[in-house]
Structure 1
């Protein structure tokens, strides 16, 4: 067969070829039953197909795979660009923190969690500041408190009660005390036993004693006064030391002073284990002293031959 006859044959075959989707289907009534299916006809051998470069593009039909699948060729050129959708950009993966950055991220997350938890907490209630008292109100409040106290009260306690600065309370107390002295009142405000208290003036002591005692006087004995003086100047001191200074036993006198609240126990001596005694704040209050350092010195009251007396007692 010549090349021209072969081309004519291929052209006829291509012109007579009908796609599967365009072929007519037989009606259901005319469809052969499974039992009457005739045997398959013998398939003639395929004709020789020339190479693809020798077949004209106009005569080339769809490929067998395209014919079986019933699909058409996708458009080419600019039509393909119109039909095919643009691919969506893939999100870039976030880099994983390495080393100390991981710890920093965890710390930052913990800080965010703490801030959120703190935001959910209820805000603390801030107490309202105490109202500022004027000088007249502060003076009157201090005088009212000092009239009812039965023992000296410190500046700190007064400041806490009145909710005022301790410096302002202390300066106002000094001003009140100076005002009483200038005005010449029968009482005065002074420090005693580490605090402040109102006292009668010494020049009116006889009238006060006459009113308070009214013929009844309960005084300390000479032995009690001597023992109290030894404790005041030698404190802390043991009973044996007091007895050695006075030259007599002082157990009974010590019990009397402790009962009246003028002397108290303050520990034991490390060497002997004996009890130590000292004066109380009541002692300072009764004498009108602030500390025991304000006691008068003993040197002016000592006899001139004190050294001879000390040698005689040895």
Structure 2
């Protein structure tokens, strides 16, 4: 497949996907080597990021998957058009709960409640309904939660490794469970 045709095909697919897509999945769909797709994705990302010609969109890799997003440069304009009045903002309680989950995952609702000092059942349901947290396992009969790819996308992160340092200020889960005493 010619480079310009491959780039166009990748762009077309990325314009219609609902979630980020792996380079290997693109390669399979387009019947080309994965490495060629990765090279094309990097070239497209760099082309879109050209500061001499700012665009309203950018190509980002999130958790080793690719998707076209609106440019961070125009977040205010997008927010004014799409977000204002159409989606409620997260409450302070939801933001605090989400932070505990993000930094301490996998974590149970009970552990989050102990960190926050309040019951978080309804807040966790809200975060799950918004696709920001999900069940990731079970320990001693209690469901464990972690953040989702949607969380990474909304935070503009490629992975959890990009979270700012905050974890040292949170108590260890062993201390919360009473095991550290």
Q: Indicate the TM-score class for this superposition, using the shorter chain for normalisation.
A: 0.7 to 0.9
Whole-angstrom CA distance in 2 between matches of 1:217 and 1:162? 36
1:143-292 pair list within 5 angstroms: 143-182=11-50, 183-269=53-139, 272-292=140-160
**1:144-168 deviation per Cα after TM superposition (whole angstroms, max 9, x unaligned):** 1111111101100000000000000
1:293 is aligned to 2:161:
yes
SS at match of 1:277: strand
Aligned to 1:65: none
Whole-angstrom CA distance in 2 between matches of 1:199 and 1:160? 23
Distance 1:161 1:226, change over 3 A: same
**RCO higher in structure (CA 8 A, sep ≥6):** 2
Counting matched residue pairs gives 169
- Which has more radius of gyration? 1
Unaligned runs of 5+ in 1: 1-132, 307-314
* Larger helix proportion of the pair: 2
| Alpha-carbon shift at residue 273 of structure 1 (Å) | 2.2
SS at match of 1:265: strand
RMSD: 1.9
Distance 1:218 1:265, change over 3 A: same
| Alpha-carbon shift at residue 142 of structure 1 (Å) | 0.8
| Alpha-carbon shift at residue 169 of structure 1 (Å) | 0.4
Whole-angstrom CA distance in 1 between matches of 2:85 and 2:114? 37
| Alpha-carbon shift at residue 239 of structure 1 (Å) | 1.3
Whole-angstrom CA distance in 2 between matches of 1:296 and 1:241? 21
| Alpha-carbon shift at residue 251 of structure 1 (Å) | 1.1
Whole-angstrom CA distance in 1 between matches of 2:167 and 2:105? 18
Aligned to 1:4: none
Q: Which runs of 4+ in 1 moved over 2 A?
A: 213-217
| Alpha-carbon shift at residue 274 of structure 1 (Å) | 1.4
Whole-angstrom CA distance in 2 between matches of 1:174 and 1:200? 17
Whole-angstrom CA distance in 2 between matches of 1:289 and 1:231? 16
**1:12-64 deviation per Cα after TM superposition (whole angstroms, max 9, x unaligned):** xxxxxxxxxxxxxxxxxxxxxxxxxxxxxxxxxxxxxxxxxxxxxxxxxxxxx
Aligned partners of 1:193 and 1:285 also within 8 Å: no
